[in-house]
A = this chain, B = another copy of it.
Amino acid sequence: MPASFTSHIEHLPSTVPFVGPETAERNRGAPFLARIGANESVFGPSPKAVRAMQAAAADAWKYGDPENHELRNALAGRLGVRSENIMVGEGIDGLLGVAVRLYVEPGVKVVTSEGAYPTFNFHVAGFGGELVKVPFREDREDAMGLVSAAREQGAKIVYLSNPDNPMGTWWEGAQIEAMIAAMPKDATLFLDEAYMEFAPEGTAPPCDVSNPGVIRFRTFSKAHGMAGARIGYAIGEEATIAAFNKVRNHFGVSRIAQAGALAAIDDTEWLASVQGRVAEGRERIYQIARQNGLAAISSATNFVAVDCGRDAAFAKAVLDGLVARGIFVRMPFAAPGNRCIRVGVGLPQDLDVFAEILPQVLEDVQAASQA
């Protein structure tokens, strides 16, 4: 009696590589000692955002404003653009899903990096697009290489995250502007700036919303500490932004999240405090790596790629050893980044535990590999 799935859907896998730490905790039968693998901000949301969300909880019987009016105005004010240049959505994941859908169908090529954000790939595949993957170059997404590939392949979209997940590296704003200037005329750049708040001054190019060929993505999930609230925004040229309305879930953004985000934007003191603690945490991870004879890759995010010094199998063994001992971390999934593990900036006590356990793991793994 059932309807058949579309043939495109039929060919998509139903098992997907998105495993949350809760699943691992259920499998191991115990919570993790340190939850530093999903690039979450352990310092939490601004206390003002928490209070705003708590106040909004009693009003959760009301749908959120489908226009996200207040939040768009607040963001537009801070960015020096108009609210028509802002689209609020259910995190960058939600916004990427809509954005991909605007441009991608079977036959469309999309350029990304080999080992870059897998949720983006999931969306492209979900709409029948063909992914063209360009290797990282010196542990950075190869900005000009992506542009060349787009030109050669006649791709419609180029995806770049700056700063980069999973390597933590970054391009300066001027280099991004050069990339934008070099983009093919009939392609659009999806510039994922999820981690921008952790990056040095000058990493973000100036906001140019006159250009319909760039859509920038920002989020409250990382520096603002609201990953579980599901709220982010896209910045772009007016007609491009308006197009999201053709397909987005208009009442999709949580009213509670809206309240939290509004308060979070205003709490610049809290953001600065998080940025400072993340910078310190990165330094700590560099130090822990050094102490263990490993190289850490300089990061502009809230995580650090630690080069385990050998191949992917070795890094995987280190990862498994850490997870088995209660440290939730992840690792890049493609070469050459997969010689690293990816360690999030935890609380000082999280990094203490990491510092204590890493050498034990390395010893065990090295012993096993020499056996």
Contact = CB atoms under 8 A, between A and B. Distances in A.
B58 A1 contact: no
Interface string A19-55: 1101100100000000100101111110001100110
B156 A3 contact: yes
Given A156-B4, A187-B3, A58 B65 contact: no
Interface in A119-175: 126, 156-157
B60 A53 contact: yes
A290 interface: no
A213 B2 contact: yes
A282 interface: no
Interface residues of A, number: 91
A254 B254 contact: yes
B50 A62 contact: no
29 contacts: A1-B212, A2-B186, A2-B237, A4-B156, A5-B103, A6-B102, A6-B103, A13-B246, A14-B245, A15-B245, A16-B250, A18-B66, A20-B65, A22-B66, A23-B65, A23-B66, A40-B61, A44-B59, A45-B58, A50-B57, A50-B58, A54-B57, A60-B260, A61-B225, A90-B90, A91-B249, A94-B249, A228-B255, A228-B256
User: What 8 pairs between A and B have smallest CB-CB spacing?
Assistant: A228-B255, A1-B213, A3-B156, A22-B65, A53-B57, A2-B212, A3-B188, A12-B246
Given A3-B156, A57-B260, 20 more contacts: A1-B211, A2-B237, A3-B213, A4-B103, A6-B104, A14-B242, A14-B245, A18-B66, A22-B65, A22-B69, A40-B61, A44-B61, A49-B60, A50-B60, A53-B54, A61-B226, A64-B228, A90-B230, A94-B252, A228-B255
